[in-house]
Structure 1
Amino acid sequence: MTFILDRTSSRHGIRADIARSWLLVSGLRPDTFDAAHDSAADQIILDIEDAVDPAFKAGARRGVVDWFLGGGSAWVRINARSTRYWRDDVAELAGVPGLAGVMLAKTESVIDVEDTAQQLGGTTPVIALIESALGIENAVTIAQSGGVFRLAFGSGDYRRDTGASADDLAMAYPRSRLVVASRIGELPGPIDGPTVVAGYPALRQQSEHAVALGLTGKLCLRLDQLPVVNEAISPTAADVLWARTFLEDFAASGGVVRDGSDLPRLARAQKIQGLAHAFGISPS
């Protein structure tokens, strides 16, 4: 089956493929959906998986669909394909207006993604949330599967599965694995897991560390995390000034490549300039 994905869905003019902050919102709290939608989040994800007790999943799913039918728009984190809830999730969400895409929990194989995409009609983007050792091991093939839009890191479940700590060094391998897999699969950069420890310094430090490894988005659990994540993942004003200066000098030279470093720097400058325009960042 051929999958045709829309990579242009956006909020606040920011496309999902470059979105920095991804706000998780409990599917049990439809009273908070509008506030989340109006927040600083680049994208919002209504969660009917981990945030919902099995006894309430049907009600949460119906509340999400009703909100969409009332004009809302968001992503939805659905249950793993290995669970009995998955089939009802994809059946009730398929074709619903306002569904930007789904985040598939506990993705471990190509078939997880492709079955989900097919059941949703073949055009709904699927973010593969990788949360286990097996998922990390299969990340490259998952990134190359039909229907996959982006990879995301379920860091909490990964730690539970492997016994790894939350230390940056312990988390460097799975994060880097997702970055490399995304590049091989020609996907946007992956989305990092949420920061659960309290305090903005820890949130900023973890966000900056993820960026240093090549991740380009982050799951958020609270509204107050959004400005910190958005700032940490955006190019700095100094980066934007460097990019502008480099591109002006390059254009003034007639676009002549002077040495082997020019083309990599040109690509970096163009990328920074594009992100700065999308995020509204000025060197001043």
Structure 2
Amino acid sequence: MNEVTDAFVAVAGGVSCSREHNVRNLVLTRRGPDDLNGIVEWEVMSVGSSRVAERIRRPHWSLARTWLLQPGLPGGGDAFDSAAAGRADIVVLDIEDGLPDSQKADGRQAVAEYLGTGGRAWVRINCVSTPAWSADLDALAQTPGLAGVMLAKTEGADDVAATAARLPEGTPVVALVESALGLESAADIARTPGCGRIAFGVGDFRRDTGMSDDPTVLAYARARLVVASRAAQLPAPIDGPTLRTAANRLARETAVAKAAGMSGRLCLDPAHAETINSLLSPSPMEIDEARRTLAQLDAPAGPYDGSVGPTKARAEAVLALAAKLGLD
């Protein structure tokens, strides 16, 4: 721990903790009856030169909507803190495509130092087929602030298994599917112990396959990832990002992801996080509609046919998600 500077108390679902240390992050979790889907994560962060403690409520990674890819730049500690204090549910320090090859060694060291001195974040590491993969894990695996790993260009179950074997037990791996081979292996990837979620690397997938960015063209790929995730009892997958230069498409592309059954998105611009979080959460209208639906179906004289069970389950799922995100 660092120097004693202040005392704070964080409370989450009846769980409280008090410490007298200057730390960037304190994470408290509460498990509900449905295990991971019931976890609420609180972070108490001291951010910036003033080291002022801020209380920020974020959903657990299994429910996270916005995954901000923050370049893991050398000397980037202040930028990492700024990203952590923003609206994104998850910050992913990117030492794969977020850095040119010439900066990867220094960036890796900067991220390791950040995670070893009170910072907390996920890290996107290089793919298994590169020497950088092993170097990334050597530098990062034992840092206390490593929240999870996003594995670039995952192409098979062995990629996830090899990565998980190098990490402390219980460290989640998000498998980033970015190629035709990865898509064909999606079901096996999702079932691999250690795989926490699947993400869709749209840009590299399009480069590999020659497909356009038309949602109709990519619907098959998204559906494959959604079905693979559901069959493996994983949370819904994470869709690719909207480019910084295409902010006018942000809402439309987020709506496509939601309609496809995805519950998160990668994010390249911190300014996109608020819109993504809002659109991937149940809206007030959806919550009200779900409540009305349940009231009608639960009424003594309510209608009953083969549609009641699925309709009721969908309404209950909307309300359950709203509760977990603190929207009820």
**In 1, Cα distance between the equivalents of 2:309 and 2:213?**
37
Map 1:31-46; keep pairs closer than 5 Å: 31-46=78-93
Decide which of 282, 294, 310 is 1:247's aligned counterpart: 294
Q: 1:19/1:220 Cα in 2 relative to 1: closer, same or farther (>3 Å)?
A: same
Shift of 1:76: 0.4
Aligned residue for 1:270?
A: 316
Shift of 1:38: 0.7
Q: 1:35/1:197 Cα in 2 relative to 1: closer, same or farther (>3 Å)?
A: closer
Higher relative contact order (CA closer than 8 Å, sequence separation 6+): 1
| Higher CA-based Rg | 2
Aligned residue for 2:326?
A: 280
Within the alignment, does 1:133 sit opposite 2:180 as a pair?
Answer: yes
Map 1:121-200; keep pairs closer than 5 Å: 121-196=168-243, 198-200=245-247
**In 2, Cα distance between the equivalents of 1:251 and 1:73?**
45
| RMSD of equivalent CA atoms | 2.0
- Percent sequence identity over matched residues? 45
The 8 Å contact of residues 137 and 167 in structure 2, kept in 1 or not, is answered as yes
Structure with greater strand share of residues: 2
**In 1, Cα distance between the equivalents of 2:124 and 2:112?**
13
**In 2, Cα distance between the equivalents of 1:200 and 1:106?**
25
**In 1, Cα distance between the equivalents of 2:155 and 2:196?**
15
Aligned residue for 2:62?
A: 17
The 8 Å contact of residues 131 and 157 in structure 1, kept in 2 or not, is answered as yes
Shift of 1:249: 4.5
**In 2, Cα distance between the equivalents of 1:101 and 1:200?**
28
Amino acid at match of 2:94: D
Aligned residue for 1:105?
A: 152
Aligned residue for 1:261?
A: 307
Structure with greater helix share of residues: 1
Aligned residue for 2:271?
A: 224
Q: 1:143/1:120 Cα in 2 relative to 1: closer, same or farther (>3 Å)?
A: same
1:200-246: CA deviations, max 9, x gaps?
Answer: 44111011011111111000101110111111111121110012223
The 8 Å contact of residues 27 and 64 in structure 1, kept in 2 or not, is answered as yes
Instruction: State the TM-score, normalizing by the size of structure 1.
Output: 0.91
- In the alignment of these two chains, the number of paired residues is 276
1:10-54: CA deviations, max 9, x gaps?
Answer: 352311111111100000033211111011111110000001122
Segments of structure 2 that go 5 or more residues without pairing to the other structure are 1-34, 43-56
**In 2, Cα distance between the equivalents of 1:280 and 1:64?**
31
Aligned residue for 2:9?
A: none
Aligned residue for 1:3?
A: none
